[in-house]
Amino acid sequence: MSDASVAQTGDFIQDGVIAQVLDRGAAASPTEIREILAKALELKGLSLSDVAALSKLRDPELCHALFEAARAVKERIYGTRMVLFAPLYISNLCNNECLYCAFRASNRELERRALSRDDITREVEELVDQGHKRVLMVAGERYPQEGFRYVLDAIDAIYAVKRPKGEIRRVNVNVAPLSVDEFRELKAARIGTFQLFQETYHRGVYAEVHRGGPKRNYDFRVTAMDRAMAAGIDDVGIGPLLGLADWRFEILALLQHIHHLEERFGVGPHTISIPRIEPACGSDMATRPPNEVSDDDFRKIVAILRLAVPYTGLILSTRESAAMRHELIGLGISQVSAGSRTNPGGYTEREDEQAAQFHLGDHRSLEEVVVDLMSMGHIPSFCTGCYRMGRTGKDFMDLARPGDIRRHCDPNGLSTFLEYLIDFASPETRQMGERLIQDKIERMAPIPRAVSQKLVERVRSGQRDAYV
């Protein structure tokens, strides 16, 4: 695709259409709601008006039916696997003025820092030694002297770390929107997913909360995924920052964004993130978001998205408390971060709220999160197989839709989890995990059981990074 054909404006977000469907959605009858839920159970996704109707639900019985449907879809597509990753903040320098973020340029309360290559190496060594295989690299929008090269060098530094018991196998990236040429360089650096949140799709609110810097340009941000995809990055991650505009508007606009990417590139986003605004040093808005999302509404958002885009990964970060994460996992979350720090240097130096982007709701270590997931019957997965086998973008979705992806994900989840148990876990955790792996294998159908058994045996006999 030529650069000229890449969208230049966010006209695909149509406020008028969203207002209309929300109005109509409020009038949906219980019978219509049950029909929408029945359709969702066929795993075909939902239309804009279906989502609008579900977003207006209040009746406790129908809400219960919504949650049950989401649980069923989650179970059918993702089984009990849960992918784990750690964010890696490399810099908190920033030129923007996002009112909700501690990194914003005028915040004098923050200690500024951009990690050097050596600092990054140390951070990654620590993460690898904890057992991590995936990181999400994050930075503010101001790079040291070398400019965008700083980002590319940081990715290189992460992949260059080799420890006796492993390495980072997938680097996802969350940095400011780029030009098509820069995205090409990012792709050449072998990134996994390029992730960028629109924050709010509402132009008025967007202008109010982004007071300065290049991020004020709504159109440049909302078209970033067009440029990423045009540059050949076909796994992209999007999301709203919940708490800015009305959440119903945000999820409908998110759906319009997804439809736009599907129409243009034949595939939507690989993942959706649903960060809720958390308190952040020096930000009044982060303490009192203009449209705070309640826990009840947050549950609904997860369930509705699970039904609307069943094959798109849903990511939850450590912004949420352990109790909330517990609940939301059952409703549709497929990836969680664990053991996170949001200040540059936070893994090897100290967790420092004066340098962090926002305050964490969940302070548990990776192993504590692993144990919690196991106690829910989940398999913590460190798999990075798809992206390294080229199963990305449309190829991934073509495998996911008929349910074929589980042929890969289930065995790979088990083998990478066993790797973690053998190499990093305490004896008690390992014992608990081995029992769980055994139990999962016994419950599998004959073919995946045979594949899983073989893969697990390879790991047991000393092979690492075994996947199908």
Q: Where does this chain bind ligand SF4 (CB under 6 A)?
A: 94, 96, 98, 101, 103-104, 140-141, 215
**196, 383, 444, 459: which one binds ligand SAM (CB under 6 A):** 196
Q: Which residues contact 343 (CB under 8 A, 6 or more apart)?
A: 89, 92, 351, 352, 353, 354, 355, 356, 357
Backbone angles phi, psi at 139, to 5 degrees: -150, 155
Q: Which does 70 bind (CB under 5 to 8 A by kind): ligand SF4, ligand SAM, none?
A: none
Shortest CA distance to 364 belongs to which of 320, 309, 429?
320
Residues 6 or more apart in contact with residue 361 via CB below 8 angstroms: 278, 318, 319, 320, 321, 322, 324
**Contact with ligand SAM (CB under 6 A) among 280, 308, 418, 437:** 280
Residue 176 found at the interface with ligand SAM (CB under 6 A): yes
Residue 334 contacts residue 314 (beta carbons within 8 Å): yes
420 binds ligand SAM (CB under 6 A): no
Q: How far is the CB of 289 from ligand SAM (least distance, A)?
A: 9
Using CA atoms, how far residue 54 sits from 37, 251, 312, 313, 409, in Å, is 9, 11, 19, 20, 30
343 binds, among ligand SF4, ligand SAM, none (CB under 5 to 8 A by kind): none
Residue 358 interface partner, choices ligand SAM, ligand SF4, none, CB cut-off 5-8 Å depending on type: ligand SAM
Whose Cβ is closer to ligand SF4: residue 81's or residue 215's?
A: 215
When CB distances are held under 5 to 8 angstroms depending on the partner's kind, the choice from ligand SAM, ligand SF4, none that residue 241 binds is ligand SAM
Determine the size of the site formed for ligand SAM (CB under 6 A): 21
For ligand SAM, what does the binding mask look like between residues 338 and 367, x meaning CB under 6 A? -------------------xx---------
Structure tokens at 280: 């952040």
d(CA 27, CA 18): 15
Could you tell me the smallest distance in angstroms from the CB atom of residue 109 to ligand SF4? 13
The site partner of 280 among ligand SAM, ligand SF4, none (C-beta below 5 to 8 Å per kind) is ligand SAM
Give the one entry of ligand SAM, ligand SF4, none that residue 104 binds, where binding means its C-beta sits below a cut-off of 5 to 8 angstroms depending on kind: ligand SF4
A 10 A CB-CB count for 188 gives: 12
- Rounded to the nearest whole angstrom, what is the least distance from the CB of residue 354 to ligand SAM in the complex? 15
CB of 107 to ligand SAM, least distance (A): 11
Our CB check for ligand SAM shows the closer of 59 and 146 to be 146
Q: How far is the CB of 335 from ligand SAM (least distance, A)?
A: 16
Asked whether the beta carbons of 206 and 241 are under 8 A apart, the reply is no
Is 241 among the residues that bind ligand SAM (CB under 6 A)? yes
The binder of ligand SAM chosen from 140, 166, 339, 345 (CB under 6 A): 140
Between 143 and 382, name the residue whose CB sits nearer to ligand SAM. Answer: 143
- Concatenated DSSP letters for 25-92? HTT--HHHHHHHHHHHTTT----HHHHHHHHT---HHHHHHHHHHHHHHHHHHHTTEEEEEEEEEEE-
> Which residue's CB comes closest to ligand SAM?
101
CA separation, residue 248 to residues 32, 53, 55, 100, 257 (Å): 19, 10, 6, 20, 14
Question: How far, in Å, CA of 282 to CA of 295, rounded?
Answer: 24
Q: Given the complex with ligand SF4, which of 217 and 365 has the nearer CB atom?
A: 217
Of 127 and 274, nearer to ligand SAM (C-beta) is 274
Distance CA 458, CA 464 (A): 8
Number of Cβ within a 10 Å radius of residue 342: 27
d(CA 239, CA 251): 9
CA distance 298 to 280: 20
**Cβ-based nearer residue to ligand SAM, 214 or 330:** 214
Binding residues vs ligand SAM (CB under 6 A): 100-101, 103, 138, 140-141, 174-176, 196-197, 199, 241, 275, 277-278, 280, 286, 319, 357-358
